[in-house]
Amino acid sequence: MDRETIVAASRKHDVVPLEGGKYYTYGTAGFRMNSDLLDGITFRVGLLSALRSRKLNGQAIGVMITASHNPAKDNGVKIVDPMGDMLEQEWEVFATGLVNCPSHEVLADTFFKIAEKLKIDLKSPGKIVAGRDTRPSGITLMQSLIDASNATNTSIVDFKVLTTPQLHYLTRCINTEGTPSSYGEVSEVGYYKKLNDAFQRCLRGKRVTGSLTVDCANGVGGPKLKELLKHVDSSKTGLDCKVVNDDVLRPEVLNLDCGADYVKTRQRAPPNPKPQPGDRWCSLDGDADRLMYYWIDPESGFFMFDGDRIATLAASFIADLFRTAGLDEDLRIGVVQTAYANGASTKYIEKHLQLPVVCTPTGVKHLHHAACAFDIGVYFEANGHGTVLFSTEAMQTFAKKEPQSPAQKDALDTLRALGDLINQTVGDAISDMLMVEVILAHKGWSLRDWAVTYSDLPNRLVRVEVGNKDLFQTTDAERKLSHPVGIQDEIDQCVKKYTNARSFARASGTENACRVYAEAQSRSEADELANKVAAIVKNYGGA
């Protein structure tokens, strides 16, 4: 690997400098922006992955090219660590450092400096596994990545079009292949086979009833879900899936008036095709790592089952299985949420399910990390991203424990199957959807039964334009502002005037704005509180 080769390769992939001394940062979603700006950035992410792979003894590093629920013109690039989790936080600064190098020469020098500082043997082999969503810009960005791997003698496996969770799955599979902790077959088909096998084992002869319509946001989830369905025997499982909004041939319709983000932020079903009263629906987002369920209640209209609802459903089912299996003394189940979780869901988990709840800052990496502290960690963001993590110890206990009755055996087998069904690397809309179907089938629940478990507090999310969002610094898992000084007191004074109310403000991690969340006993109180807190934020935020 030599400097000249890297410099020459980099010349083909310029980075567009930002104006006014601003720089690109590796955020919660990696680098994400208009796809025209991403060529050089993706090349440099390739360089970083080449370093990271060698630092981790040649284990494969995943790179996913996607902008998730963002408009079709955007794209993004994100690094996945060998076990399928997000890039270790300490390395985000190196990503930011490489991407903002002012010239190709400085870039090459920085590359070698990082290698030296971290004692990376550049002669050892390195490996990258890559995937992209259906955005056309992903094809050229993949080439930028390939050029970076060629310039650094790093091997690259291009899996082409994948959902984000599939890339996470494949990264873990490659790195565990042939070991006792093998995560599955290293192929897309292996992913479908694993899900289908676990789905059948989870159902244990029970059948899914009624049909399910899946809105795929016109993204990669459409073709991939249809692929999965070829493997599912609906005569055995009862799964009757209708796939809609699966047009990936017209890039401009991606995430347009459909998808999980649309449903969550607009709090309504996609206009087209229109769900009929009583139908069971769910929506995936553009890269299939978020899930929203909903239905039109024939009496009261649209009702949404967001990440909080999915988390409570999963936690209650698993806690029941634990009790039946006699494991509630041995292993700990916990639920991880963010400040955006509806207060009613938190209360339900703590008071009704009697399970501990941990609150973390927004962003999957924080939730994932906190969930690892439990034997079974259920984590979901309200926006529908989440999963259930089963520790190695938990999986071993399910396998080893001698059942004392047929009911215990059944519970232990179901738990093991759930551990295989639920993606252990990251939130996976397709895997989560199968989990929801399994749980509803086991409980014999309709969506109405699920809806009445608790009532959400009315809430409102407001986006506030501010001069400088970096003035807003949070503490207490984003539930309070430490800066600007004095602002939190004003918010507290305001919240006090409302019943059962809560409100917080934070700087967005993905755009230049602040977000204000408020909930209260009634719709009008929640709206009023959100607007008042937004006005306070605006006041402190500069022009």
Query: Contact residues for ligand 16G (CB under 6 A)?
Result: 28-29, 362-364, 381, 383, 385, 508-511, 515
Other Cβ atoms less than 10 A from the Cβ of 300: the count is 9
Instruction: Find which of Mg ion, ligand 16G, none residue 509 binds, CB within 5 to 8 Å per kind.
Output: ligand 16G
Per-residue binding string, Mg ion, 252-291, x by CB under 5 A, is: ---------------------------------x-x-x--
Under rule CB under 5 A, which residues in 288-307 are in contact with Mg ion?
Answer: 289
Q: Which is nearer to ligand 16G, 152 or 362 (by Cβ)? A: 362
b vs e for 494-514, b when ≥16 Cβ sit within 10 Å of the residue's Cβ?
Answer: bbeebeebbbbbbbbeeeeeb
Nearest in space to 79 (alpha carbons), one of 167, 195, 173, 187? 167
Is 35 among the annotated ligand-binding positions?
A: no
Q: Which is nearer to ligand 16G, 42 or 164 (by Cβ)? A: 164
Is 345 among the annotated ligand-binding positions?
A: no
Residue 385 Cβ vs ligand 16G, minimum distance, rounded to whole Å: 5
Residue 69 Cβ vs Mg ion, minimum distance, rounded to whole Å: 6
Q: Residue 402 and residue 502: Cα distance in Å, rounded?
A: 47
Q: Residue 215 and residue 222: Cα distance in Å, rounded?
A: 8
Q: Residue 457 and residue 342: Cα distance in Å, rounded?
A: 7
Residue of 42, 49, 68, 100 interacting with Mg ion (CB under 5 A): 68
> What Rg value do the Cα atoms of the chain yield, rounded?
23
Is 153 among the annotated ligand-binding positions?
A: no
Residue 321 Cβ vs ligand 16G, minimum distance, rounded to whole Å: 28
User: 436 CB contacts (<8 Å, ≥6 apart)?
Assistant: 282, 291, 293, 310, 313
CA max distance for the chain? 69
Q: Which residue is nearest to Mg ion (CB)?
A: 68
Instruction: Find which of ligand 16G, Mg ion, none residue 285 binds, CB within 5 to 8 Å per kind.
Output: Mg ion
Q: Residue 159 and residue 174: Cα distance in Å, rounded?
A: 12
Is 68 among the annotated ligand-binding positions?
A: yes
Reported as half-sphere exposure (CB side, CA atoms, 13 A), residue 319 has a value of 18
Instruction: Find which of Mg ion, ligand 16G, none residue 194 binds, CB within 5 to 8 Å per kind.
Output: none
Q: Which long-range contacts (CB under 8 A, 24 or more apart) does 356-361 make?
A: 356/332, 358/334, 359/477, 359/479, 360/336, 360/477, 361/474, 361/477, 361/478
Residue 290 Cβ vs ligand 16G, minimum distance, rounded to whole Å: 9
- For residues 93, 167, 315 and 299, what is the CA-based torsion angle, rounded to 10 degrees? 110
Q: Which is nearer to ligand 16G, 29 or 50 (by Cβ)? A: 29
Under rule CB under 5 A, which residues in 358-377 are in contact with Mg ion?
Answer: none
Instruction: Find which of ligand 16G, Mg ion, none residue 510 binds, CB within 5 to 8 Å per kind.
Output: ligand 16G
Residue 337 Cβ vs ligand 16G, minimum distance, rounded to whole Å: 12
Is 506 among the annotated ligand-binding positions?
A: yes
Q: Confirm whether 144 is a catalytic residue.
A: no
Residue 270 Cβ vs Mg ion, minimum distance, rounded to whole Å: 17
Q: Residue 111 and residue 464: Cα distance in Å, rounded?
A: 38
Instruction: Find which of ligand 16G, Mg ion, none residue 49 binds, CB within 5 to 8 Å per kind.
Output: none
Q: How far apart, in Å, are the Cα atoms of 351 and each of 347, 348, 451, 520?
A: 6, 5, 18, 19
Is 515 among the annotated ligand-binding positions?
A: yes
144, 46 contact by CB (below 8 A): yes
Q: Hunting for tokens 């409102």 — which residue is that?
A: 460
Is 508 among the annotated ligand-binding positions?
A: yes
Q: Which is nearer to Mg ion, 27 or 356 (by Cβ)? A: 27
Residue 80 Cβ vs Mg ion, minimum distance, rounded to whole Å: 14
510, 32 contact by CB (below 8 A): yes
Q: Which is nearer to Mg ion, 287 or 525 (by Cβ)? A: 287
Q: Residue 47 and residue 41: Cα distance in Å, rounded?
A: 10
Is 509 among the annotated ligand-binding positions?
A: yes
Catalytic residue among 10, 35, 53, 68: 68
Known binding residues are 68, 285, 287, 289, 381-383, 506-510, 515
Q: Which residues are catalytic?
A: 68
Footprint of Mg ion (CB under 5 A): 68, 285, 287, 289
Known binding residues for Mg(2+) are 68, 285, 287, 289
